Amino acid sequence: MSNDVLTNQARAETDRESRLPEVWASAAAQKLPRYTSYPTARAFAPMDDRGRSEFDATLGRDRPDHRLSAYVHVPFCQRLCWYCGCHTSVVHDYARVAAFHRTILKEVDLWADRLGEHAGLAHLHFGGGSPNALAPEDLIQLIDRLSDRLSLRPGAEVAVELDPALMSTDFAQAAGAAGVTRASLGVQTFDPDVQALINRVQPYERVAQAVSDLRAAGVSAINFDLMYGLPGQSPDIVADTAEQALTLRPDRLAVFGYAHVPWMKKHQAMIRDRDLADVAARWEQAAAMDAVLVEAGYVRIGLDHYARPDDALALAARGGYLRRNFQGYTDDPADVLVPVGPSSIGRFEGGYVQNAVAQNVWRDAMADGRLPVGRQLVLSAGDRLRADIIERLMCDLQVDVGAICQSHGLDGRALDAELANVVALSRLGLCEVQDRVLRVPEPARRLMRVVAACFDADTDLQGAVAV
């Protein structure tokens, strides 16, 4: 190839890369899903009587070879961060949490009584809210109950999300004693001015103490959540936070962009629009954090996770068995996810279910001896096909669409109409397509959901980015 051709190719690639933030802006404006599931939770509908009886029948079926996962939602916090987008409420009186704890023990019993035979619980994940809103002894009792009633397997992962500023040494010791193997700390930012702007003040020393307490208690795996796009952040500020985070040697990090939706989350109105970066500046912040983490030797995982090269998530990514779920990315292969706690989402053979979001509705179900499931989505054959393609793309950055169509008993050309949209995106540098195999190149990693949206049956999203 002549030097001229090479120069022209390099120029075209540089042009394409320089346009990526613009594409990102367009994707952001369309509010594309992050595809932690497909279809996404907004497609869930209220469960009717027929749906309920079909669900009960599926649930009771014996699957002696199937391992379970469970997600436990603790919907309480001791403070309200202004950027929060979670289902939670602030409590200052432990009586409310104690009542929740009594009810959730009943829910564990209900699920255990209704599930058919299974191979035990291989992954248990506590999220919220802040699970450390529970008293240490209540955490131990809840893990014991789950372990006992859902048969926690030896070597199972027990992961807990934590608010590090408010986590006591007693709680860390309880987590260790209860068998917690992994803690995810919501660090977000170490910058004191940004912390003040989001109402989440937690000095570096406090986070370092939390990490030290957890490790001393035997919780050896530590994850951090970091954020960009928060008020007052700049590329330098997020890079400093990443550098500080690395001094505490986390095994994994997840890096999320702040979503400012004050019309949905009223408390976000405390964050002033003028303190927020525009879309192009958000891209620079994400890139600055990425550069620090990659330079330090962390491996990029999927859309927004990073891990040490020897971490199980990095091994799963390398081995092609990484999975996408509501907690982000996982190496957990379980197809059954049991939802515990208000608003929790579960997955069973037939599709997704979601527990009642309102705590009183959730509580009333248990008082009546009913499972608190309120919404569901029964997966069609088309949903399963598209879900497989989207999941592989979001995990591997590449997918053989023709092969997946054939594995679902279809002609390899079944999604050629969707592929035509992908080919159009390839002109923007978002993907490469050859023989129905798609690949998202490294510079477009942060835009993989734009490519994934081409396979979303919601046609409004398929054409989300103007080409």
Q: How far is the CB of 259 from ligand SF4 (least distance, A)?
A: 12
- Distance (Å, rounded) from C-alpha 377 to C-alpha 354? 9
Query: Nearer Cβ to ligand SF4, position 185 or 415?
Result: 185
Q: What is the DSSP letter of 329?
A: E
- Distance (Å, rounded) from C-alpha 223 to C-alpha 225? 7
- Distance (Å, rounded) from C-alpha 307 to C-alpha 408? 32
Name the segment binding ligand SF4 (CB under 6 A); options: 44-52, 122-130, 302-310, 329-337: 122-130
Name the segment binding ligand SF4 (CB under 6 A); options: 22-30, 31-39, 123-131, 422-430: 123-131
Name the segment binding ligand SF4 (CB under 6 A); options: 66-74, 128-136, 248-256, 453-461: 128-136
Q: How far is the CB of 331 from ligand SF4 (least distance, A)?
A: 24
Q: How far is the CB of 162 from ligand SF4 (least distance, A)?
A: 9
Q: How is 201-252 classified by DSSP, letter by letter?
A: ---HHHHHHHHHHHHHTT--EEEEEEEES-TT--HHHHHHHHHHHHTT--SE
Is position 225 an interface residue for ligand SF4 (rule: CB under 6 A)? no
Query: Nearer Cβ to ligand SF4, position 27 or 134?
Result: 134
Task: Decide if 91 contacts 347 (C-beta within 8 A).
Answer: no
Query: Nearer Cβ to ligand SF4, position 157 or 163?
Result: 163
- Distance (Å, rounded) from C-alpha 268 to C-alpha 272? 9
Helix (H, G, I), strand (E, B) or coil at 323: strand
What own/partner pairs with CB < 8 Å and gap ≥ 24 does 345-348 have?
345/37, 345/41, 345/71, 346/71, 346/373, 347/37, 348/55, 348/58, 348/59
In the chain, the largest separation of any two C-alpha atoms, in whole Å, equals 77
Tokens of 376: 């569901």
Strands (DSSP E) found in 138-199: 152-162, 182-188
Tokens of 140: 């131990």
Query: Nearer Cβ to ligand SF4, position 84 or 389?
Result: 84
Q: How far is the CB of 210 from ligand SF4 (least distance, A)?
A: 13
Query: Nearer Cβ to ligand SF4, position 128 or 429?
Result: 128
Task: Decide if 307 contacts 251 (C-beta within 8 A).
Answer: yes
Q: How far is the CB of 267 from ligand SF4 (least distance, A)?
A: 8
Among positions 152-171, residues that touch ligand SF4 (CB under 6 A) are: 163
Query: Nearer Cβ to ligand SF4, position 84 or 142?
Result: 84
Q: How far is the CB of 164 from ligand SF4 (least distance, A)?
A: 10
Q: How far is the CB of 230 from ligand SF4 (least distance, A)?
A: 11
Among positions 33-92, residues that touch ligand SF4 (CB under 6 A) are: 77, 80-81, 84, 86, 88
Q: At what angle do helices 3-30 and 279-295 cross, to 10 degrees?
A: 120
Query: Nearer Cβ to ligand SF4, position 164 or 429?
Result: 164
Helix, strand counts (H, E) of the chain: 16, 20
Q: How far is the CB of 156 from ligand SF4 (least distance, A)?
A: 25
Name the segment binding ligand SF4 (CB under 6 A); options: 64-72, 125-133, 228-236, 274-282: 125-133
Q: How far is the CB of 78 from ligand SF4 (least distance, A)?
A: 8
Query: Nearer Cβ to ligand SF4, position 69 or 130?
Result: 130
Q: How far is the CB of 343 from ligand SF4 (least distance, A)?
A: 12
Is position 128 an interface residue for ligand SF4 (rule: CB under 6 A)? yes
Output the 3-class SS for 44-81: CEECCHHHHHHHHHHHCCCCCCCCEEEEEEECEECCCC
Q: How far is the CB of 128 from ligand SF4 (least distance, A)?
A: 5
Residue 361, Ramachandran bin (φ over 0: left; ψ between -120 and 50: alpha; else beta): alpha
Is position 130 an interface residue for ligand SF4 (rule: CB under 6 A)? yes
- Distance (Å, rounded) from C-alpha 467 to C-alpha 450? 11
Query: Nearer Cβ to ligand SF4, position 91 or 410?
Result: 91
Helix (H, G, I), strand (E, B) or coil at 153: strand
Query: Nearer Cβ to ligand SF4, position 167 or 425?
Result: 167
Out of 51, 164, 176, 186, the only residue in the binding site for ligand SF4 (CB under 6 A) is 186
The CB-nearest residue to ligand SF4 is 84
Query: Nearer Cβ to ligand SF4, position 90 or 423?
Result: 90
The residue count for binding ligand SF4 (CB under 6 A) is 11
Q: What is the DSSP letter of 351?
A: E
Task: Decide if 199 contacts 270 (C-beta within 8 A).
Answer: yes
Give me the residues that bind ligand SF4 (CB under 6 A), please: 77, 80-81, 84, 86, 88, 128-130, 163, 186
